[in-house]
């Protein structure tokens, strides 16, 4: 629920999608297009209305599209009895939830501190007034003491970041440990990434707990055309992303987007101008983080909202930017099969291989590793040996070959 400056219903929709990405369930919306009250950001009458909605819906938080000054969050929290945050804070929360690497965490911490610094004076003054929902207690800190300590922290983080840059541990490397090809969903908020994620994850494969712990909450093992893939829903691109959040965004994106294939989603119901601009920004950012070499399928989503003729026209104008372009409706499930076919065309180079190894004390851990990381189709145990047939991407199959030869003195055969 929030207020916005101009009557642009799209920004409210976008905020709602962001809130969902952040793990919230939206229970109400409110907007106001009038002179704001400096105390609350929205008018005093509206604040009462807001407090009423909060009470009625049992909402646990109020999210504003506009930036809130500390005094405004403070007064809103006091009036509604729940925490009031703004779009900036919501985005920080999303990045924090998704960040898995030390680098991403540091970038987020940095953005948070810079945000705090900008509001230091007001925060210290408010903290002295006493506890408020969602308000950090600053104790007896004086403004300049607080200011200096935040600045020192910023320096310390910058130093750590410099060190980390040299020895990154990206998902890319972690994924290379697995024999499944990985797919990541990219695109702006509201393009339909999560909807497609759900549509594709319908044939979700139950995963054993060992593999599960290595997957993030937004990654699933899915099957199509009898092949298993790791599918990841990313944070995605965000409209009007505050500049101070750019680096935090890139680190968060970096760790999820490195995959064997990127599905780059665009919303077909938007204007040609917006579609092209968003697609360009996505491609530029992908290039900037060094992921430009990853094969990409551009997915033109929400075709149910436009005419056949418009689909053809938009497909035509995107031809130069997108080598592979697939029109779908994630919501209605239209052309999902065609998309799967394209995915398999890009990634279907799994190899099928078999081997027989003796049963020794080393066999169990080796088999456990194989089961965890590849698609083991059969494992027939004899008295002294086990015969295995598995499928995996070629580089992983090579690793299996190495282990079979070195550790068991046996041979791998393509089948």
Ligand X SMILES: Nc1nc2c(ncn2[C@@H]2O[C@H](COP(=O)(O)OP(=O)(O)O)[C@@H](O)[C@H]2O)c(=O)[nH]1
| CA nearest neighbour of 237 among 62, 19, 91 | 91
310 binds, among Mg ion, ligand X, none (CB under 5 to 8 A by kind): none
Give the DSSP per-residue string, 60-122: SEEEESS---HHHHHHHHHHHSSEEEEHHHHHHHHHHHH--SHHHHHHHHHHHHHHHHHTHHH
109 binds ligand X (CB under 6 A): no
Neighbours of 6 (CB within 10 A): 6
- Helical spans, DSSP H, in 289-347: 308-318, 336-347
252 binds Mg ion (CB under 5 A): no
Site mask, ligand X, residues 219-238, x = CB under 6 A? -----------------x--
Q: Which of 12, 92, 191, 353 binds ligand X (CB under 6 A)?
A: 191
Length of the chain: 415
Q: Which of 22, 70, 179, 192 binds ligand X (CB under 6 A)?
A: 192
Strand partners, 267: 301
Site mask, Mg ion, residues 17-36, x = CB under 5 A? ----x---------------
108 close to 92: Cβ distance less than 8 angstroms: yes
Smallest gap from residue 227 Cβ to ligand X (A): 24
184 binds ligand X (CB under 6 A): no
Site for ligand X in 289-318 (CB under 6 A): 301-302, 304-305
Which one of 63-71, 130-138, 279-287, 323-331 is the stretch in contact with ligand X (CB under 6 A)? 323-331
Q: Give the list of residues 6+ apart from residue 335 with CB closer than 8 angstroms, or none.
A: 303, 326, 327, 328, 329
Site mask, Mg ion, residues 175-204, x = CB under 5 A? ------------------xx----------
**Given the complex with ligand X, which of 272 and 304 has the nearer CB atom?**
304
What are the backbone dihedrals phi and psi of residue 92, each rounded to the nearest 5 degrees, phi first?
A: -60, -40
115 close to 67: Cβ distance less than 8 angstroms: no
107 binds, among ligand X, Mg ion, none (CB under 5 to 8 A by kind): none
22 binds ligand X (CB under 6 A): no
Q: How far apart are CA 198 and CA 200, in angstroms?
A: 5
Positions touching Mg ion (CB under 5 A) are 21, 193-194
Positions touching ligand X (CB under 6 A) are 17, 20-21, 187, 189-195, 236, 301-302, 304-305, 329-331
């Amino acid at each position: 629920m929030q207020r916005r400056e101009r009557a642009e219903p799209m920004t409210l929709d976008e905020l709602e999608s962001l809130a969902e990405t952040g793990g919230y369930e939206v229970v109400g919306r409110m907007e106001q297009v009038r002179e704001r009250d400096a105390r609350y950001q929205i008018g005093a009458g509206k604040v009462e209305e807001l407090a009423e909605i909060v009470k009625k819906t049992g909402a646990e938080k109020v999210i504003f599209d506009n930036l809130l000054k500390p005094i405004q969050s403070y007064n809103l929290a006091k009036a509604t009895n729940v925490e009031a945050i703004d779009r900036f804070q919501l985005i920080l929360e999303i990045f924090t939830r998704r960040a898995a690497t030390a680098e991403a965490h540091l970038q987020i911490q940095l953005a948070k501190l810079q945000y705090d610094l900008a509001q230091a004076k007001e925060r210290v003054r408010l903290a002295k007034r006493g506890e408020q929902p969602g308000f950090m207690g600053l104790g007896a800190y004086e403004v300049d003491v607080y200011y200096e300590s935040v600045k020192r922290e910023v320096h310390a983080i910058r130093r750590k970041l410099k060190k980390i840059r040299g020895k990154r541990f990206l998902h890319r490397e972690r994924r290379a440990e697995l024999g499944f090809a990985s797919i990541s969903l990219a695109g702006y908020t509201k393009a339909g990434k999560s909807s497609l994620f759900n549509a594709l994850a319908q044939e979700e494969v139950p995963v054993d707990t060992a593999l599960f712990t290595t997957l993030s909450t937004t990654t699933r093992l899915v099957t199509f055309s009898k092949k298993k893939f790791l599918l990841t829903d990313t944070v995605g691109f965000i409209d009007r992303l505050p500049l101070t959040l750019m680096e935090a965004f890139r680190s968060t994106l970096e760790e999820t987007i490195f995959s064997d294939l990127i599905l780059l989603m665009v919303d077909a119901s938007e204007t040609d101008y917006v579609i092209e601009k968003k697609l360009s920004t996505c491609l530029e950012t992908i290039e900037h983080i060094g992921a430009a070499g990853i094969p990409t399928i551009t997915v033109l989503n929400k075709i149910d909202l436009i005419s056949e003729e418009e689909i053809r026209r938009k497909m035509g104008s995107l031809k130069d930017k997108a080598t592979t372009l697939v029109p779908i409706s994630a919501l209605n499930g239209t052309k999902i099969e065609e998309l799967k076919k394209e995915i398999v065309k890009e990634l279907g180079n799994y190899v099928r291989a078999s081997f027989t190894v003796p049963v020794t004390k080393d066999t169990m851990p080796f088999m456990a590793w194989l089961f965890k990381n590849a698609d083991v189709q059969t494992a027939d145990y004899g008295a002294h040996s086990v015969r295995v047939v598995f499928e995996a991407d070629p580089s992983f199959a090579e690793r299996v070959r190495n282990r079979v030869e070195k550790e068991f003195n046996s041979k791998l055969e393509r089948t």
